[in-house]
Amino acid sequence: MRHQQQLPWKRVWVTGAGRGIGAALATKLCWAGVDVLASARSANELEALQASLAGAPGKLQIEPLDISQPEQIRSCFQRWQYAGTLPDLAVLNAGTHDPFPVEAFKSQRCQALLNVNLYGTLNCLEPLLARYLEQQRGHIAVMASVAGYRGLPTAAAYGAGKAALINLCESLYLDLAGSGVTIQVINPGFVRTPLTDKNDFAMPALMEPEDAARAIIEGLQRKRFEISFPGKFVIWLKLLRVLPYSWYFKAVKKITRSNP
């Protein structure tokens, strides 16, 4: 029997729950006794996750879902509302990564990534905000990235989407003041997932998904606007944000030099 951590949520919606951080987060929540609505595009991955949690005190309900398709999200919300299973916390974690050099830059390639990372998140936010504002309570966390702080090599589209999410959450935080609705932004550093496996450069302070999930749950409970980790790495990146461009570009080239 695993140790059960007492958490303040009854039901949590986790997008991108099929693998990586999303799967690790859903696992920790279920073992803490929280029911999880787990969505992802791959039904097979969700079914495997559900099978692995057969003995957990929290129930995992699988919801195969493509967040780039608003009608699929609306359908889920209609079913949840009818069944009385709407989440009191949503972690909008789903996203993808497509690193490419400037020689491979194509607007269509950028749009495909932004349709998931940015517009997919917006599709999820619309019904969440409407419902939570109506009931004057609710909790939303949006997965962005430290890649949204400043530009990084081969991440022109990815970083642009994450920077947009950070700015979006900052604006919503101000707009939601006094509404009873909490919004947070999650800015992880490098976490070992199938997405970061695509990077061809050294990834400082690389974390495991289970450690990232633990940091997210701790941050969600504190309710500070930004959840960022690992600590020392994030501090350095925030310091880099205030550097002049000439210094910043030199530092990033050194930090992210290509793997042999």
Pairwise CA distance, residues 52 & 103, whole Å? 42
- In degrees, to the nearest 5, what angle opens at C-alpha 166 toward C-alphas 163 and 167? 90
- Spatial CA neighbour of 34 closest among 15, 52, 61, 16: 61
C-alpha span between 11 and 250 (Å, rounded): 46
Query: 61: closest CA among 81, 43, 74?
Result: 43
pLDDT of residue 196: 57
CA dist 160 and 4 (Å) reads 38
Tell me, what's the pLDDT at 197? 53
The rounded radius of gyration (Å) of the Cα atoms in the chain is 18
Instruction: Answer yes or no: is pLDDT of 193 > 80.
Output: no
CA dist., res. 72 & res. 66, Å (int): 7
Q: Domain coordinates of the chain in residue numbers?
A: 11-255
Q: How far apart are CA 209 and CA 22, in angstroms?
A: 8
Helices (H) and strands (E) in the chain, counts: 9, 7
Q: So what's the pLDDT on residue 138?
A: 98
User: Does the pLDDT at position 91 exceed 80?
Assistant: yes
Residue 26 above 70 pLDDT?
Answer: yes
Q: Give me the percent of the chain exceeding a pLDDT of 90.
A: 78
Between CA 174 and CA 211, with CA 8 as vertex, the angle to 5 degrees is 85
The pLDDT tens digits for 149-187 are 999 889 999 999 999 999 999 999 999 999 999 999 999
Rounded mean pLDDT, 9-25:
96
Average pLDDT score over residue span 18-36: 96
Closest CA to 55 of 109, 92, 6, 1: 1
CA–CA separation, 164 and 128 (whole Å): 19
Cis peptide before 99 (omega within 30 of 0): no
Q: What number does CATH give the domain 11-255?
A: 3.40.50.720
User: Mean pLDDT score of the chain, rounded to an integer?
Assistant: 91
Lowest mean pLDDT among 25-29, 203-207, 210-214, 243-247: 203-207
